[in-house]
Amino acid sequence: MSFSFRTGSVPILISIPHHGSKIPPEIAAAMTTDGLSSRDTDWFLERLYDLPETQSASLLVAEWSRYVIDLNRPSDNQSLYPGQATTGLVPETCFDGTPIYHTNPPDAVEIERRIQTVWVPYHQQLQDELARLKREHGLAVLIEAHSIASEVPRLFPGRLPDFNIGTNHGQSCEASLQDAIVNVLANQSDFSHVINGRFVGGYITRHYGNPAEQIHSVQIELSQATYLDESTLSWNPVRTTKVQPIFRQIFSAIHDWIATR
């Protein structure tokens, strides 16, 4: 199975499409050392989101590396950020531009195989769960959980804010839900934040967020400097102790927002 899934009891689905670092042997054989490292993984997010306030939410977690196929890109590989550096559906380079494959990247036949065996099942599960949540609760809140290195010069200048909230410029959720999340961040001083900055939401946020149909989607792109030792990509318990309470407040605010619907 290329993902794990837990059914929840409240109308919240947490999707972590870049959590996985597994690479099948037949694909690994063609990869460089940088490719095999899967270093642009959203490390430990399932652990970071393991909180009392999220236990009742549905949880969808990718197991395969984004270097195999990126579940947060459209299957037709249209660029999410035209004119800006980014990576595609089946990326050929890491975020820093180093090659993932020794020689030729996957051809069209191989890309289609990965779409059908990895991309389609994840998105089918996502669609099915959103439909169930809406059917049973009247609405669904999709939280797209992501993290990224605090500095990636090829993708953005300088240092990334700690919390990067993306709602496709307000199109993927009702303004009141965005406000509820932003108010949590505005009322603390330990972490910086931005709304619809460099990251406005990837394919999943943009494609599935439809507030007119009571499907509300928000992407949370977290700087890895808030919970990792970035030099070793290892879990930092001191930093985590500071950032997890913010997530607890965010999800409490989401629960409160749902209760008003």
Do the strands 3-6 and 58-62 form a parallel or antiparallel pair, or are they unpaired?
antiparallel
Say what the pLDDT of residue 239 is.
98
Reported confidence tier of residue 86, pLDDT bands at 50, 70, 90? confident
Where does the pLDDT of residue 1 fall: very low under 50, low under 70, confident under 90, or very high at 90 and above?
confident
Contacts of 98 by beta carbon, 8 Å cutoff, 6+ apart: 32, 34
* Burial group, residue 200, by CB count within 10 angstroms (0-12, 13-18, 19+): buried
Q: Could you give the CA distance from residue 62 to residue 73 in angstroms, rounded to a whole number?
A: 14
What tens digit of pLDDT does each residue of 117-140 get?
A: 999 999 999 999 999 999 999 999
Mean pLDDT of 104-113: 95
Residue 170 is predicted with a pLDDT of 97
47 SS3 class: helix
Note the pLDDT of residue 82.
Answer: 63
pLDDT digits (tens, 9 = 90+) for 56-79: 999 999 999 999 999 999 999 887
> pLDDT digits over 159-197, tens only?
999 999 999 999 999 999 999 999 999 999 999 999 999
Residue 103: its pLDDT value, please? 84
pLDDT given at position 17: 98
Reference 207, options 113, 76, 73; nearest CA is 73
What are the domain boundaries of the chain? Answer: 3-259
- Name the CATH code of domain 3-259 (choices 3.40.630.40, 3.40.50.720, 3.40.190.10, 3.40.50.1000): 3.40.630.40
Residue 176: closest CA among 248, 260, 53: 260
